[in-house]
Amino acid sequence: MAPASGQSVPASEAALGPRHVAVIMDGNGRWAKARGLPRTLGHRAGVNALKRTVEAAPKLGIECLTVFGFSTENWRRPVAEVSELMGLVRAYVESDLERLTREGVRLRILGRREGLPADIAAVVERAEARTANNDRFLLQVAFNYGARADVVDAARRFAQAVKNGEQEPDQLDESTFGSLLCTAGGPPLDVLVRTSGERRISNFLLWEAAYAELVFQDVLWPDYGVEHLQQAVNEFRSRERRFGGIGVHDVLAAG
């Protein structure tokens, strides 16, 4: 059962995790089409779902929420739709930055800054600077982000460090490589959620999701609410995480 509005889960329950949830917010276009509305209104409804989810996550014991806002591939969409999505980023920050600051939310934007419109880059930098010292909750928005691009960028950073004489090739290990990704410094990913019923992760957090639990939910993103997030949390808690090892049930069966 989800906690009542304004309440948090008990500490013992929160300790079960997940600490870090990532969401592929899928289904805005289908939500709008089903209602005979333009796709832009689906995206606007999706922003409201994001606000609900950000508000609900800390109450469920989640410390970090990472959402897929705009991928490196989304530039291929119609110009009008891309412009609308950029405008929604600006509107979300302008309308919610003060509230996020008051509530102790740190906002972090993941992805390439190169190629972003100047006004959007300025909004991003202002929001990150304003919330930099907040530590109650971490909200990461992947914007102009692609996991393969992030891996390539990390590899280039290390190669450049080797070229500059700052690193040796044999110093590269998983920890070092992870520190070069744009998600460095955040908590390990526990669960990756995708809405709308699709069953793929679409170039999102490929490195980070290596041992994350995958949860696919048959709800269009604009309809997402606290009850759906609670369902994802419950699904995570029902699973036994093995990280390549042997689970408790396997040990008991073999015993």
Count of structural domains within the chain: 1
Amino acid at 39: R
pLDDT of residue 226: 97
Tokens of 111: 């992805």
- Of 48, 74, 150, 153, the catalytic one is 74
CA–CA distance, 35 with 111 (Å, rounded to integer): 32
- Of 26, 96, 150, 190, the catalytic one is 26
| Annotation marks residue 74 as catalytic | yes
pLDDT of residue 251: 42
67 in Cβ contact with 141 (< 8 Å): yes
Residue 5 is assigned to a structural domain of this protein: no
Task: Give the number of other CB atoms < 10 A from CB of residue 227.
Answer: 11
Domain with 136, as residue range(s), is 11-254
CA–CA distance, 133 with 129 (Å, rounded to integer): 8
Tokens of 36: 């005979």
- CATH of residue 69: 3.40.1180.10
Residue 6 is assigned to a structural domain of this protein: no
| Annotation marks residue 223 as catalytic | no
List, run by run, the mean pLDDT of 10-residue segments along the chain (255 residues): 53 79 97 96 95 96 96 91 89 89 95 90 94 96 95 98 97 97 96 97 97 97 98 95 58 47
Task: Give the number of other CB atoms < 10 A from CB of residue 160.
Answer: 11
